[in-house]
Each structure stands twice: as structure tokens, then as C-alpha cells.
């Protein structure tokens, strides 16, 4: 089962995702895509960890999501939080995000345990002035479309509440 949870910043996506994961059998695994680049991010991570509780397994996957999914398969649901940070990591290090996305899409059908992806909608504001930001939001939109097409279920979270879009 592939579930994609999308929404804006601080829309309650992660909290909703954790609730969905908790309702699934098996020991859950949190796959963190964040590189801890600054104090702001460190604080967020600590906050999320405290909320989840000790029964969660944890794994970092700043670049290689396929390896993380393969290695954690079979024991319980995996929560990938979040896709947009993973894409940020790839773009900032000049990796080929399209190739990485294709590899991820190819690996999904083989997954035995559920995969819950959290991602961000970033294309609903005014057009960014700088070209890099425009390119990033294009990439983020394409990644979201591809994962939504591959997912069994897609939820758009607004103010903490899910709207089912697939």
C-alpha cells in the first residue's frame, strides 16, 4: 500500500501521517530525509521524534530512498518524511533528481510493507522571482504528480484535516 500525504507547510501533514501509520500493523519505521543543516531544522526533528514515541524504528535517507525502503521492508509501515526535503537534497548537490525519482517509482511495486510519503505543495503562491526557486517548484510538482499517480491513496491536508483526492 502506497499512501501519499500532501499539503502546505505546518498543515498537520506529519501528524496526520503518524496517525495513519499507527493504525497499521507491525513496528513502524520513520525514514527521515532531512539533513540537519541548522538549528531550526534540528528543533523540528526533535519535536517530531518526541511526538512519535519509542516504538518507532528510525532511519536516515537523505539521498538513497530506494536502499532505505528495501532495507526496512517486511517489518511494518514506513513513513518517508518528507519527499520535498529529499528533492532539496538532490537538487542542492546537483544529483539527477529525475533518475532518482524513476528509481524510486520502479522500486515501489516490490514493497511488501506499506509506504507512507509526506510531501509539500509548493506551487500555490505567486511565481518566485529567482529562477532556481521556479525550477525547484517545477521539480517538486512533477515529483508529486508522479508519486500521486503511483499511490493507492492520496490525501491533501488542510489545517490538519485530510481531503481525499484519490
Candidate list 48, 60, 62, 105, residue with the active-site label:
48
Distance CA 17, CA 104 (A): 20
4 vs 32, beta carbon nearer a second copy: 4
Cell readout for 32 is 527521515
Residue with cell string 524504528: 57
State the minimum distance, in angstroms, from the CB of residue 9 to a second copy: 4
Of residues 27 through 46, those in contact with a second copy by CB under 8 A are: 40
Residue of 3, 11, 86, 89 interacting with a second copy (CB under 8 A): 11
For residue 121, is the peptide bond before it cis, meaning its omega torsion is within 30 degrees of 0? Answer: no
Q: Could you give the string, one character per residue 115-134, with x where binding to a second copy holds by CB under 8 A and - elsewhere?
A: ----x-xxxxxxxx--x-xx
86 vs 156, beta carbon nearer a second copy: 156
Taking a C-beta distance cutoff of 8 angstroms, is the pair 2, 117 a contact? yes
State the minimum distance, in angstroms, from the CB of residue 110 to a second copy: 23
Residue of 36, 66, 107, 142 interacting with a second copy (CB under 8 A): 142
State the minimum distance, in angstroms, from the CB of residue 135 to a second copy: 9
Cell readout for 151 is 499511490
State the minimum distance, in angstroms, from the CB of residue 116 to a second copy: 15
End-to-end CA distance of the chain: 13
Beta-strand ranges (E) seen in the chain are 2-7, 29-32, 57-60, 78-81, 115-120, 153-158, 161-164
Using CB under 8 A as the binding rule, whether residue 158 contacts a second copy is answered as yes
Amino acid at each position: 500500500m502506497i499512501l501519499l500525504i500532501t499539503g502546505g507547510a505546518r498543515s498537520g501533514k506529519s501528524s496526520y501521517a503518524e496517525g495513519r501509520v499507527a493504525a497499521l500493523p507491525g513496528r513502524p519505521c520513520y525514514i527521515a530525509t532531512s539533513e540537519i543543516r541548522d538549528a531550526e531544522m534540528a528543533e523540528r526533528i526533535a519535536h517530531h521524534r518526541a511526538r512519535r514515541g519509542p516504538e518507532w524504528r528510525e532511519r536516515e535517507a537523505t539521498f538513497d530512498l530506494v536502499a532505505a525502503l528495501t532495507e526496512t521492508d517486511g517489518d511494518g509501515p514506513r513513513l518517508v518524511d518528507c519527499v520535498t526535503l529529499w528533492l532539496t537534497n538532490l537538487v542542492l548537490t546537483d544529483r539527477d533528481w529525475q533518475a532518482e525519482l524513476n528509481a524510486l517509482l520502479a522500486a515501489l511495486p516490490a514493497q511488501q510493507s506499506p509506504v507512507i510519503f509526506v510531501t509539500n505543495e509548493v506551487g500555490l503562491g505567486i511565481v518566485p522571482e529567482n529562477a532556481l526557486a521556479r525550477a525547484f517548484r517545477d521539480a517538486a510538482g512533477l515529483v508529486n504528480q508522479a508519486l500521486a499517480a503511483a499511490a493507492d491513496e492520496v490525501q491533501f491536508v488542510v489545517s490538519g484535516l485530510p481531503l481525499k483526492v484519490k
